[in-house]
Amino acid sequence: MRFTKMHGAGNDYIFIDCFNYPEPRDPGGLAREMSDRHLGGDGLILIEPSTSQAARMRMFNADGSEAEMCGNGIRCVAKYLRDHQLTHSDEFTVETLAGPMRLRIENSNADLDHRSRSSVEVDMGSPVLNSSLMPTELEGHPPATQTLDVAGQSIEVTCVSMGNPHCVVFVEDLNDDWVLRIGPLLERHPAFPQRTNVEFARVVSANRIQARVWERGSGETMACGTGACAICVAGVQTQRSSRHVAIDLPGGTLELEWRASGHVFMPGPAVEVFSGHWPTIDDEPNSASNA
């Protein structure tokens, strides 16, 4: 099976081209097998044909669970589609479990080395601020500055959904105790029936925030696109930041803008690292999709 390793701001995934090769029989199991932190990535993403959009994206976390959306991953999908001539447009829509996402390639490298860096802007749509739709058991629309008991510690959280659930914690210090101890406890807290992604954010100024992310099903990652969007929205909701803010993550900086239209826009990098072959029984080219 052919695969391609790509990353957006250090958030790296294994991508499978299901236009030209069959979809894996067990993508969740394959995600668990391939997502070795030193050799693989943060999960597996399938790039599939769509009956209504340029393509369909399915994303599987390192633990094999399927997630609704990945902001860094979908930028890489856009780059792959354009660079590998699966679309000839620089602006198109990709289908996801969180709904259709509009993408615009700001610089195209289709005629250059695929491994060169591209910049892609994603219209992430409007955040979901209704607690029952996130979903969370916390009250409020949005559930902002709510208190949760975590291992005997009272922690103030603000919840946002970007098509997938997020719990934002504003902290004074970004340390391992927050991320590595509190992160997994919040991910599986009873207040979140479908688990949640957890962002720890330190406000530097109204236009800059430093953050680390504990991703649902994958653990700490170098960056999280939907998480950065959630931090932007939570910062505005709690009057900590402006609607245009830079989020500094371990893998790089993402610029977010929550526009008056209600949509959150996220431009950022997409990089193809390498391609290879993974031995499976699904090794025959998808001749039907090449017709």
Cite the active site residues: 70, 224
Q: Are 202 and 211 in contact (CB under 8 A)?
A: yes
Residue at token pair 């800059």 = 208
DSSP string, 164-183: SEEEEEE-S---HIIIIIIH
Residue at token pair 């369909």 = 56
Q: How far apart are CA 198 and CA 182, in angstroms?
A: 9
Of the candidates 143, 19, 147, 131, the one whose C-alpha atom is nearest the C-alpha of residue 77 is 19
Joined tokens for residue 260: 């008056």
Of the candidates 170, 194, 195, 193, the one whose C-alpha atom is nearest the C-alpha of residue 184 is 195
